[in-house]
Structure formats: structure tokens, C-alpha cells
């Protein structure tokens, strides 16, 4: 059986640098195997551009297995594309139709300044983590697994929050460009476990303060962040973050 292929038209945002004027450029991609990933399709397009002596499309990637959070672009108005719970590198061309026009843009947010084409600077997330997304108290040597009891629901909630890969889709999807879901996930994964308890008040204050300092918008409960998240991080984590912050304001807590 012959391999199924499709031919598409790409409208790609091209911008040489942060201060350069951006524009959409159109490229025709012919006979793309339907079983290729979206990034593999871009590789083929870039190979053609380089062969013609043109500047290839700049985009981010690393593991191409949906676990690193490096890749990211807005495809037809959706962060990471139209497939639910899927990173851009795990989006396959079989989800598109022959003759489709596909529009590709970078994640747009004040706190994610553009570097080139589809590449944005997401180091604001790193600075939020540096502000408090870790445990610094000495825990000694590795204890036996049963030495410190953790209720199963709490452990599962912490693991679910820890699934966040920091890709930034939540920011790109939010009409306010809020980083609340990302920050809340990083706070939740630690405050749900006893190991994160000693620093929980300092942590939540420092991370929220850094999030605001980076210029992210506020959460207005549109829930677009949850819909766009490739790891399906729940907005319930934002409620957890808000409760943790309120604890810092209460005397005796």
C-alpha cells in the first residue's frame, strides 16, 4: 500500500529579531508523508529553503518525545496545535487534510520576548523556579520509602502537578498571558508533600512575586490554560496556590 501523503500551504511568522518587523511568509509543502510529526514536516521545509539558499525557519525543539517542553508554537490559533493533550513535536500530519492552509505563529506574551521567527525567550519561567520552586532544607540521606507516610491522594496530586513541562502553552492560550497555571503547578507539587512544608510560606510568596515581576497577566478564570496544556494540568492547582498565598497573610499560620 502506498504511503499516504498530503500537500499543504504554510503561513509562517518570520521575524529576524526582536526589533525587526515581522511578517507572514507562505511556503508550499508537497507530498508530506502523513505519518511525519509536525516538526519533521518543518525539517523538510527547511531543507528545501536551505537548498534554495534561503533562511530556514527558526523553531525550538529538543527531545521530540513530548517530555522536555522545548517546542512550542501556535498552530491555527491553538498553542501546540489542535490536538488535545499533545505537544507540537507529537502532533502528526495525519491530523491535517490535503490542501490545508496552516498558520504558524510564535507564543505571544510580553514576558516571552521574541528571539527569531517561532523562537521566544521563556527564561521567565526559569526565574520563577529559581525564586522558590525547590527544596533547600537538609533532608539527610535517602530514607526508606515507608519512613514518612504520604496519603495516596496527596501523592497523586503532587505527581499530577509535577507533570508540568514548562512549555508555556498556558501563557500563550490565556487572553491575559497569565503564568498562573505554571506557577501553581510548581507550588502544588511541593506543598502537597511533607518535604516541601518547611519552606511553603516563603516559597509561595517568592514565586508569586517573581511571576508578577516578570510581567505576566493575572488569572481571570478563562480556563484556556487547562485546555491548551499538553500534560492536562488542572486549574485546581491555581486554587491551591491562592490558598497557600492566603495562609501567608494569616497570623499564626
Of 215, 119, 236, 115, nearest to 171 (Cα)?
Answer: 215
Give the pLDDT confidence of 68-113 residue by residue, as tens digits: 999 999 999 999 999 999 999 999 999 999 999 999 999 999 999 9
Of 244, 231, 247, 234, nearest to 157 (Cα)?
Answer: 234
Q: Which superfamily does 5-105 belong to?
A: Beta-grasp domain (3.10.20.30)
- Range list for CATH 1.10.1060.10 in the chain: 123-249
HSE-up of 15 (CA within 13 Å, CB side)? 20
CATH of 123-249, one of 1.10.1060.10, 2.40.50.140, 3.40.50.300, 1.10.1040.50: 1.10.1060.10
Distance of alpha carbon 129 from alpha carbon 109, whole angstroms? 19
- Range list for CATH 3.10.20.30 in the chain: 5-105
Give the pLDDT confidence of 188-225 residue by residue, as tens digits: 999 999 989 999 999 999 999 999 999 999 999 999 99
Give the three cell numbers for residue 131: 525564586
Whether the pLDDT of residue 253 is over 80: the answer is no
Amino acid at each position: 500500500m502506498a504511503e499516504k501523503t498530503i500537500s499543504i500551504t504554510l503561513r509562517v511568522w518570520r521575524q529576524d529579531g526582536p526589533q525587526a518587523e515581522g511578517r507572514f511568509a507562505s511556503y508550499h509543502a508537497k507530498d508530506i508523508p502523513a505519518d511525519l510529526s509536525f516538526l519533521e514536516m518543518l525539517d523538510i521545509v527547511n531543507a528545501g529553503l536551505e537548498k534554495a539558499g534561503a533562511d530556514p525557519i527558526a523553531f525550538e525543539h529538543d527531545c521530540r518525545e513530548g517530555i522536555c517542553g522545548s517546542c512550542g508554537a501556535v498552530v491555527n490559533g491553538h498553542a501546540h496545535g489542535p490536538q488535545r493533550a499533545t505537544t507540537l513535536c507529537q502532533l502528526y500530519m495525519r491530523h491535517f487534510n490535503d490542501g490545508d492552509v496552516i498558520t504558524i505563529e510564535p507564543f505571544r506574551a510580553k514576558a516571552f520576548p521574541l528571539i527569531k521567527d517561532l523562537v521566544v525567550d521563556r527564561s521567565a519561567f526559569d526565574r520563577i523556579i529559581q525564586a522558590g520552586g525547590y527544596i533547600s532544607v537538609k533532608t539527610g540521606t535517602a530514607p526508606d520509602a515507608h519512613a514518612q507516610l504520604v496519603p495516596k491522594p496527596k501523592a497523586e496530586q503532587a505527581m499530577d502537578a509535577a507533570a508540568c513541562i514548562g512549555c508555556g502553552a498556558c501563557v500563550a492560550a490565556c487572553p491575559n498571558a497569565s503564568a498562573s497555571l505554571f506557577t501553581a503547578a510548581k507550588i502544588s507539587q511541593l506543598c502537597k508533600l511533607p518535604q516541601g512544608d518547611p519552606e511553603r510560606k516563603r516559597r509561595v510568596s517568592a514565586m508569586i512575586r517573581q511571576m508578577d515581576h516578570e510581567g505576566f497577566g493575572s488569572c481571570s478564570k478563562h480556563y484556556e490554560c487547562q485546555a491548551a496544556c499538553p500534560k492536562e494540568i488542572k486549574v485546581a492547582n491555581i486554587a491551591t496556590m491562592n490558598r497557600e498565598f492566603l495562609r501567608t497573610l494569616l497570623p499564626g499560620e
